Structure formats: C-alpha cells, structure tokens
Amino acid sequence: MDQRPRLADVAARAGVSTASVSLVLRGEPGPSAETRERVLAAAAELDYRPDRTASLLARRRRHLLGVLLDVRNPFHAELVEELHVEADKAGYEVVLSTLTRGRDEDRAIETLLDFRCEALILLGPDASEEALDRLAAQVPCVVIGRTVGAAQVDVVRPADDIGVDAALLHLIGLGHREIAFVDGGQGAVAAIRRRGYRRAMRRAGLLPLIVAGDHTEEGGVLAGRRLLAGPALPTAVVASNDRLAVGLMDAFVRAGVDVPGRVSIVGYDDSSLARLAHIDLTSVNQDAPAQARNAVLAAVSRLDKGRTVRFEAVLVPHLVVRGSTAPPVSS
C-alpha cells in the first residue's frame, strides 16, 4: 500500500487549504510569505514529493514530448540531455524510446504513441519521407539531423555540407591530398555526409575514396582493416561520425600505424568520445544545445500556439581541431 504523504497531509500539517499548498509548491502568486513558509516547512517535515503521474493525468493535456534516439549513439545522449533542459523550461516532460539491436524505429515510435505523447522529436530517423508524413498526420513531429523533402514535419539539422567542407579544408590546408571517407551506411544522415564528401573532393580536384562503414565502432574497425589491406594507405581519413572514427583509430593503433603521424583522422559529431584525452579527435561540432533549443521550440509552438506552417532550422557546424590531425609525413 502506498504510504507516501499526500497534498492533503501537507495542508493539514500547515493548517491551510490544499489549494494554497498547490499554489506554493508550483511557485505561483497568491499565498502570503508566512503561508509559503509554513507550507514549505510542512512539506519538508513530511518528505512530500508531488506525484508526477497524477499531476499529468489531472490535466486535459499531458505535456509529454516523446524522443526517439539510438541508445548506442553518444551524440544522441548529449542531445537528450539538452532536450530535457529545454523541455523543462517550456513546462514539458520528456519520454524516451530507444533503438537497440533488436528494437527498430517502428517499434520505438509505437511506444511513444502508446504513451500518448503530444509531439515527437526524432533524432536522425531513417524512416522514409512518406512514413514521416503519415506519422505527422497523427502527431506533430520534429526531425533532428537530416533533410526532409515535402513531409509535413519540422526539421532541425546541421548544414552537413559545410561541416564536411570544414573537415576537408582543414586536411587540405595541412597538405593532405589522399583523403578517404569512411561511410555511415544506408541511413539518411550518412547519405548526406557522403554526398558532401564527394562534392568537396571534386571541388578540390581530388579523387574520392569511399570505404564502407555503418556508424558503429565495429564498422570503423572493419573499414580500417580494409584500408590496411589496400595497396597504400591514404594520408588522412574523414569518418561519417565519431564512433566510426574511434573504431578506425583502434584498427590503426593495433596495426602499429601512428595517428596522426602516418594517418590523420577527422570525426563528425564532436561527441564525448572525441574529447577524451587518449582519443583527442578532431571532429565537426553540430551545436547540440542549439539543436535541442530549436527542436523544443518547434514542438511547443505547434502545441501551445497552434502553428501550422512548417519550420526548418539549418545550423552551421564548425570544426574542433584536436590531436588526431597533422601535416602528412611527406609534406
């Protein structure tokens, strides 16, 4: 049986009405300073904690934002932390539903719909534009991290072409000409970065070299082994995300290939992995706080203000240079 103190218990201890207790605990105007002091003292004495579930159910609206993320992606973890901050400012709670090896996007999104979330924020989804359009017909949706054509979803994304350009300009400026790209696989985000690499290499008059990968550390290890088995190593490699870059670095270190002495490596996301001292990865920063701020703004403006016009925010990424890049040995 639940023996937790109730709002009525705090009211009885403080000698005020439950309405006054509710106003004090929500920080709203009305009760006197003396009443506030008595209520807060009573709540502390009783170790009272509000029942979030009951509070949400008592409202006509649930004020829940559902977030789809890949639990294996450290950049998604950073985005979720920022989303919590922004949602709390807006008076919303966040419900998380994760992708795992055995749990795909459809199932994860279904979970969020089962929780009756008022809007969904999808981090780097691979769903087709048609599927996103169908979902947006049920509930307001914000997509973070990729372009979306005509689907009626709001979009917050980095200008990935500028991010990849920044990585290549840095390497070319150091003197590199043989620059490979480790691909992220079949997803929409990977495709955008792959196109950006090809375009930037053509513009620089350099020959593209794309190695298959899958946005995981294991994919980076396999890509590194493929490069090591080739006729000659490139002098630099750009990876489609930081996880690939870390796997690539691991393969090279195990083979005795110095980074950055023999091969320079650039990642994408500037995740917590990149900032570790023993990894020290040059990487493209996407500004997670700004992405989260814009995503919550997009969702809340539909829910609270009835906005119907499609919203898209394109943020300019920047390169953070660390110890994984250096001029090529021959320069």
132-184 pLDDT tens trace: 999 999 999 999 999 898 889 999 999 998 999 999 999 999 999 999 999 99
Question: What number of residues does the chain have?
Answer: 331
Predicted confidence at residue 68, as pLDDT, reads 97
Best CA proximity match to 25, nearest among 50, 5, 4, 6 = 50
**CATH 3.30.390.50 fits domain 7-50:** no
- pTM, two decimal places: 0.77
Name the residue ranges covered by the structural domains of the chain: 7-50, 61-159+287-316, 160-286
Predicted confidence at residue 330, as pLDDT, reads 67
Q: What is the CATH number of domain 160-286?
A: 3.40.50.2300
Residue 156, C-beta contacts closer than 8 angstroms, at least 6 positions apart: 142, 143, 144, 145, 291, 294, 295, 298, 312, 313, 315
Task: Give residue 134's Cα distance to chain centre.
Answer: 23
- Whether 160-286 and 7-50 are alike in CATH topology: the answer is no
Query: Residues 264-304: pLDDT tens digits?
Result: 999 999 999 999 999 999 999 999 999 999 999 999 999 99
- Listed in sequence order, the DSSP H helices in the chain are 7-14, 18-25, 33-46, 52-58, 74-90, 105-114, 129-138, 160-174, 188-203, 217-229, 242-254, 272-275, 288-305
Conformational region of residue 240, where left means phi above 0, alpha means psi within -120 to 50, and beta covers everything else? alpha
Q: How far apart are CA 109 and CA 122, in angstroms?
A: 9
**CATH 3.40.50.2300 fits domain 61-159+287-316:** yes
- pLDDT < 50: residue spans in the chain: 1, 56-58, 331
Conformational region of residue 149, where left means phi above 0, alpha means psi within -120 to 50, and beta covers everything else? alpha
